[in-house]
Amino acid sequence: MDKQKIVRLETVSWGMYDWANSAFATVILTALYSKYFAQIVARGKEGVNILGINVPGAALWNFVVSIGMFVVAIISPFLGTIADFSAKRRIFQIIFCYLGVLFTSLLFFVGAGDWLTGSLFFIFALIGFSTSVVFNDSFLTDISTENNIGRISSLGWGLGYIGGGLLLFINLIMLQFPTLIGLPEGYFSVQDCFISVALWWFIFSLPTFIFVKEKSPGSRLAEGESYLSIGIKRLTQTFKTIQHYRELSKFLLAFLIYNDGIETAIVMASIFGAEVVNMETGELIIYFLMIQGIAFVGSIAFGQIADTIGKKVTIIISLIIWSLVSVWAYFIGIIWDIKTEYWLIGVIAALVLGGSQAISRSMAGMLTPQGRSAEFFGFYAISGRFASIFGPLIYGLIIHVTKSIQKGILSVIIFFIAGMLILLSVNERRGIEEKNSSLF
- In this structure, which amino acid lies at residue 375? E
pLDDT of 352 > 60? The answer is yes
Round to whole Å and give the CA distance between 332 and 270. Answer: 15
Check whether 386 has a pLDDT greater than 70: no
The confidence score (pLDDT) of residue 160 equals: 85
Query: What is the pLDDT, as a whole number, of residue 384?
Result: 62
Instruction: Examine residue 223 and state whether it is found in any structural domain, yes or no.
Output: no
Q: In whole angstroms, give the CA distance from residue 290 to residue 295.
A: 8
* Any domain includes 116: yes
Task: Give dist(CA 109, CA 44) in Å, integer.
Answer: 19
Classify each residue of 93-108 as buried b or exposed e, where b means 16 or more C-beta atoms within 10 Å of its C-beta: bbbbbbbbbebbbbbb
Domain-embedded: residue 288 = yes
- Residue 119 CA to residue 60 CA, distance in Å, equals 9
Residue 59 C-alpha from the chain's centroid: 20
Provide mean pLDDT across the span 17-40.
94
For the chain, the straight-line distance linking the first and the last C-alpha, in angstroms and rounded, comes to 39
- Number of domains present in the structure of the chain: 1
Query: Tell me, what's the pLDDT at 34?
Result: 94
Note the pLDDT of residue 338: 94
Reduced to 3 states (helix: H, G, I; strand: E, B; else coil), residue 255 is helix
Q: Is 55 helix (H, G, I), strand (E, B) or coil?
A: strand
| Averaged pLDDT, 230-249 | 77
142 burial via Cβ count (<10 Å: 0-12, 13-18, 19+):
middle
The string of pLDDT tens digits covering residues 195-232 is: 999 999 999 999 999 998 887 776 777 777 777 777 77
Question: What's CA 155's distance to the chain center, in Å?
Answer: 15
Question: Has residue 336 been placed in a domain?
Answer: yes
pLDDT 10s digits, 6-23: 458 888 999 999 999 999
Residue 142 banded pLDDT, cuts 50, 70, 90: confident
Within a domain: 161: yes
Top mean-pLDDT range of 111-125, 262-276, 341-355: 111-125
Report the distance separating Cα 47 and Cα 63, nearest Å. 13
Other beta carbons within 10 angstroms of residue 2's beta carbon come to: 7
Residue 377: the pLDDT is 61
Percent pLDDT > 70 in the chain is 91
The predicted model gives 66-73 an average pLDDT of 87
**8 A C-beta contact, residue 190 and residue 398:** no
Q: What rounded mean pLDDT belongs to the chain?
A: 86
- Average the pLDDT over 144-169 and give the result: 81
List the single range of 70-74, 173-177, 288-292, 346-350 with lowest mean pLDDT: 70-74
- Higher-pLDDT residue of 280 and 151 is 280
What confidence tier does 367 reach under pLDDT thresholds 50, 70, 90?
confident
The pLDDT score that the predictor gives to residue 1 is: 47
- What pLDDT band is residue 161 in, cutting at 50, 70 and 90? confident
**Least confident range of 153-162, 344-353, 379-388:** 379-388
Nearest of 105, 109, 114, 102 to residue 37 by alpha carbon? 114
Separation CA 130–CA 76 (nearest Å): 9
pLDDT in the model for residue 154 = 72
Provide mean pLDDT across the span 173-198: 95
State pTM to two decimals: 0.83
In a domain, 221, yes or no: no
Instruction: Find which of 229-233, 313-317, 384-388 is predicted with most confidence, using mean pLDDT.
Output: 313-317
Query: 44-68 pLDDT, tens per residue?
Result: 889 999 999 999 999 999 899 989 9
The maximal CA–CA distance of the chain, rounded, in angstroms, is 71
Domain assignment present for residue 217? The answer is no
383 band by pLDDT with thresholds 50, 70 and 90: low
**One-letter identity of residue 356:** S
CATH number at 373 reads: 1.20.1250.20
Element (H, E) at 49: strand 48-50
Residue 125 lies in a domain: yes
Give residue 236's pLDDT: 76
Residue 45 region by backbone torsions, left for phi larger than 0, else alpha for psi between -120 and 50, else beta: alpha
Residue type, 35: K
> Containing domain of residue 244, as a range?
3-211+232-435
Quickly state the pLDDT bin for 372 (edges 50, 70, 90): low
Higher pLDDT, 375 or 427: 427
* pLDDT for 434: 84
Average pLDDT over residues 346-362: 85
Name the percent of the chain lying above pLDDT 90: 46
